[in-house]
Amino acid sequence: MSGRVLVVHHTVSPSLQTMLDSVVEGLTLAHVADVVVRPALLCSAVEVLESDAVIVGGPVNIGMIAGAVKHFFDQVYYPCLDATVGRPYGLYLHGNDDAAGALRDLGKIVAGLRWKQVTDHVVCTGPITHQDHDWLVNLGGTVGLSVTDP
């Protein structure tokens, strides 16, 4: 038996599609039966409120979080502020070279929401490698296990 994991993504490239697929593979390996995958621009606060954990993924643009990911957080922040304290989450990003600004900004957002980071963030640059794939599967699996009953 397992909880619901919401995967919010902004998938605008083949690399990000590979990353999303790897995260979902990890959730499957963790036996998460209820995986909800939603584009960031279409995801609602209700979907976050109905989830037991959240994984967010998207591109880094000029060192900052993508507008679609920021839009997602803008839409859900206040409706979820008190109701999702302690929510387990994971994060994956893809950029050309530098994700420091995006990580800083997202860190502030999830700190404000008081979500609980349950695994290392995965930041990939360039083509997705086998090691990147393994880290992404681990991210999905770890978040999945955070809501799976023993």
State both tokens at 65: 């979080």
State both tokens at 55: 């994984």
Q: What is the pTM of this model?
A: 0.96
Quickly count: other Cβ atoms within 10 Å of residue 77's Cβ. 14
Q: Identify the structural domains of the chain with CATH numbers, from first to last.
A: 4-144 (3.40.50.360)
Average per-residue pLDDT for the chain: 95
CA distances from 57 to 4, 82, 92, 149 (A): 17, 23, 5, 25
User: What are 48-87's pLDDT values in tens digits?
Assistant: 999 999 999 999 998 999 999 999 999 999 999 999 999 9
59 with 66: CB under 8 angstroms? yes
pLDDT of the residue at 1: 39
Local confidence band at 117 (pLDDT 50, 70, 90 cut-offs): very high
